[in-house]
């Protein structure tokens, strides 16, 4: 029997990780710890909430005393830490919240875990603190090939029709941290604290840095769900700058599979990059989304292309992200499983089929937040 706390389990990626662990490991006790901020939604976990090996605890990761008590009460031997403020645009408006949750919250978990585990006779034996981070800590890569070139790496998930690299450099695990946004600066700082707890106290930690995730249950402030919903309702699609920025997209269940593998088999104190070898310019993804939604809804081809609306660029907008995840492939045999076209089709269908889930989120307070955000763009 293992007792594992997954923080941020009511969010996008966390809910997929909780679902995977609850279903795959009935012998584990899975504790979903989440504050339920605007981004946390227990509806994401309706299908597992009655399982005997699942418990939800509403808690702020910054609440050191409560977290220490929970570790003692549940005899926790593993922590998979996803709770964070995760949206770059919000971090530009409100950096303090990002430092508080992402840095101080992570430090609070580390210190409580240290006190609890060091109080046990076996100490750190069989324990694990696994911190989920982002590729954004590495900063931005150059776009040396704006038209795209044949990439140097391939995977089973690379699509036949679109498999391009937009530069010659990639994020590898040994790269220097150069975060640009308050979000990525806070994540970078939390990564450093996690590694410091290994180096100073011997805590068995692991850090992974993943590229952009997409799939069901993503909060509709992020590009893909926001745009699918806007296309459905024929609302403008606010493309930042020229839409030329490049992101490397990974289907969220492939990330959850990687987390499972790394939690169980990853080497302590190591860093693993996780990515899809799947670079896309924003504007190209947006066109794919428009075509896919229009086809599924039986609209005329390209009829919604005029929803594309170029708006003021995001401040400090990173130009290109591209992950080299060959270390993870080599050491643990992980590869993304889905071709991007397949993943996008599944994702668009999921959002169109779950309109009620979307409507609940996009009404009321949240809607007003968006109005403020786009005012003046
Ligand atoms: P999300 O915003 O969808 O979910 C975050 C969750 O954390 C929410 O359920 C929220 O309620 C919870 N939370 C926030 N502050 C909290 C606090 N103080 N105490 C307890 N819970 C709190 O985020 P996501 O996109 O699922 O990202 C999860 C993690 O993965 C984050 O650490 C993020 O940095 C990282 N990540 C995300 C991506 C991506 O593409 N979304 C890529 C790489 C890494
Ligand atoms: O790379 C991993 C990161 O990916 C994660 O660490 C973050 O938590 C996650 O939010 C994501 O960050 P991005 O900033 O890349 O994701 P977002 O969906 O906000 O934006 C994707 C791209 O689309 C980015 O270049 C900005 C652009 N964009 C986004 C929105 C919301 C637009 O052009 N218009 C928009 O309205």
Task: Please report the sign of the dihedral spanned by the C-alpha atoms of residue 330, residue 331, residue 337, residue 338.
Answer: negative
In whole angstroms, give the CA distance from residue 144 to residue 44: 40
Q: Is 16 in the pocket of ligand 2 (CB under 6 A)?
A: no
**Ligand nearest to C-alpha 223:** 2
Q: Which one of 12, 97, 225 would you pick to mutate in the ligand 1 pocket, going by the greatest count of ligand atoms within 8 A of its CB?
A: 12
Q: Is residue 8 part of a domain?
A: yes
Q: Is residue 109 part of a domain?
A: yes
Question: Residue 240 C-alpha to ligand 1 middle, in angstroms?
Answer: 23
In the block, residue with structure tokens 């998979």: 80
Q: Please tell me the residue having the least CA distance from ligand 1 atom 36.
A: 134
- Low-confidence stretches of the chain (pLDDT < 50) are 366-367, 369-370, 373-377
Q: Is residue 32 part of a domain?
A: yes
Q: Which one of 11, 179, 210 would you pick to mutate in the ligand 1 pocket, going by the greatest count of ligand atoms within 8 A of its CB?
A: 11
Ligand 1 atom, smallest distance to 135 CA: 43
Task: Please report the sign of the dihedral spanned by the C-alpha atoms of residue 58, residue 61, residue 67, residue 73.
Answer: positive
Show the tokens assigned to 83.
Answer: 């709770």
Per DSSP, the three-state class of 44 is helix
In whole angstroms, give the CA distance from residue 128 to residue 265: 11
In whole angstroms, give the CA distance from residue 267 to residue 264: 9
Cα angle for residues 310, 314, 318 (degrees, 5° grid): 115
Name every residue whose Cβ is closer than 8 Å to that of residue 163 and which is 6 or more positions away in sequence: 150, 151, 154, 277, 278
Q: What are 185's strand-pairing partners?
A: none
Per DSSP, the three-state class of 153 is coil
Q: Is residue 14 part of a domain?
A: yes
Cβ atoms of 281 and 244 within 8 Å: the answer is yes
Ligand 2 atom, smallest distance to 237 CA: 36
Q: Is residue 183 part of a domain?
A: yes
H/E run at residue 262: helix 252-265
What pLDDT was estimated at residue 363? 80
Ligand 1 atom, smallest distance to 100 CA: 18
What pLDDT was estimated at residue 371? 52
In whole angstroms, give the CA distance from residue 8 to residue 19: 13
In the block, residue with structure tokens 């899975």: 30
What pLDDT was estimated at residue 377? 34
H/E run at residue 201: helix 182-201
Q: Range of 94's domain?
A: 1-139+177-210
Q: Is residue 357 part of a domain?
A: no
- What is the count of structural domains for the chain? 1
Cβ atoms of 249 and 298 within 8 Å: the answer is no
Show the tokens assigned to 13.
Answer: 């990626």
Question: Residue 58 C-alpha to ligand 2 middle, in angstroms?
Answer: 27
**Ligand nearest to C-alpha 61:** 1
Question: Residue 282 C-alpha to ligand 2 middle, in angstroms?
Answer: 9
Per DSSP, the three-state class of 113 is helix
Ligand 2 atom, smallest distance to 282 CA: 23
Residue 328 backbone class (left: φ over 0; alpha: ψ -120 to 50; beta: rest) = alpha
Q: Is 136 in the pocket of ligand 2 (CB under 6 A)?
A: yes
Q: What are 134's strand-pairing partners?
A: 210
Task: Please report the sign of the dihedral spanned by the C-alpha atoms of residue 87, residue 88, residue 93, residue 99.
Answer: positive
Which residue, among 371, 354, 272, 281, has the nearest Cα to 321 in the 3D structure? 281
Question: Residue 59 C-alpha to ligand 1 middle, in angstroms?
Answer: 14
Q: Please tell me the residue having the least CA distance from ligand 2 atom 8.
A: 86
Cβ atoms of 291 and 266 within 8 Å: the answer is no
Q: What are 214's strand-pairing partners?
A: 251
Q: Is residue 304 part of a domain?
A: no
Q: For residue 130, give the CATH number of its domain.
A: 3.40.50.720
Per DSSP, the three-state class of 274 is strand
What pLDDT was estimated at residue 159? 75
The ligand 1 site (C-beta within 6 Å) comprises 7-8, 10-14, 34-37, 39-40, 60-62, 82-86, 101, 105, 132, 134, 187, 210, 212-213, 219
In whole angstroms, give the CA distance from residue 4 to residue 67: 13
What amino acid positions are annotated as catalytic residues? 135-136, 183
**Ligand nearest to C-alpha 219:** 1
Q: Is 86 in the pocket of ligand 2 (CB under 6 A)?
A: yes
Ligand 1 atom, smallest distance to 10 CA: 9
What pLDDT was estimated at residue 372? 55
Q: What is the pTM of this model?
A: 0.96
Q: Please tell me the residue having the least CA distance from ligand 1 atom 41.
A: 213
């Amino acid at each position: 029997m293992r007792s594992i706390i997954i923080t941020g389990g009511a969010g996008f990626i966390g809910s997929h990780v909780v679902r995977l662990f609850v279903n795959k490991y009935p012998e584990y006790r899975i504790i979903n710890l989440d504050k339920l901020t605007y981004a946390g939604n227990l509806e994401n976990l309706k299908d597992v909430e009655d399982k005997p090996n699942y418990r939800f605890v509403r808690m702020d990761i910054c609440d050191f005393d409560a977290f220490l008590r929970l570790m003692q009460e549940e005899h926790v031997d593993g922590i998979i830490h996803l709770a964070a403020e995760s949206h770059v645009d919000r971090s530009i408006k409100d950096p303090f919240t990002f430092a508080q949750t992402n840095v101080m919250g992570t430090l609070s978990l580390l210190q409580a875990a240290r006190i609890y585990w060091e109080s046990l006779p076996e100490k750190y034996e069989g324990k694990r603190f696994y911190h989920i981070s982002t590729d954004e800590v590495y900063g931005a890569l150059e776009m040396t090939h704006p038209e795209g070139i044949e990439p140097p790496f391939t995977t089973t998930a690379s699509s036949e029709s679109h498999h391009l690299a937009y530069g010659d450099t990639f994020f590898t695990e040994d790269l220097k941290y150069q975060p640009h946004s308050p979000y990525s600066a806070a994540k970078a700082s939390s990564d450093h604290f996690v590694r410091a707890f290994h180096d100073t106290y011997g805590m068995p930690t692991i850090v992974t840095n993943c590229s952009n995730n997409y799939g069901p249950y993503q909060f509709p402030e992020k590009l893909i769900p926001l745009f699918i919903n806007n296309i459905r309702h024929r609302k403008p699609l606010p493309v930042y700058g020229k839409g030329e920025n490049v992101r490397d997209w990974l289907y969220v269940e492939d990330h959850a599979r990687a987390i499972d593998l790394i939690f169980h088999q990853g080497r302590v104190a190591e860093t693993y990059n996780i990515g899809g070898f799947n670079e896309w310019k924003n504007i190209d993804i947006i066109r794919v989304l428009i075509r896919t939604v229009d086809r599924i809804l039986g609209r005329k081809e390209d009829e919604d292309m005029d929803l594309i609306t170029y708006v003021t660029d995001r401040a400090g907008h990173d130009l290109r992200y591209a992950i080299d995840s060959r270390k993870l492939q080599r050491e643990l045999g992980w590869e993304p499983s889905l071709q991007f076209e397949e993943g996008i089709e599944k994702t668009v269908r999921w959002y169109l089929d779950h309109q009620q889930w979307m409507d609940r989120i996009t009404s009321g307070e949240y809607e007003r937040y968006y109005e403020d955000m786009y005012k003046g763009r």
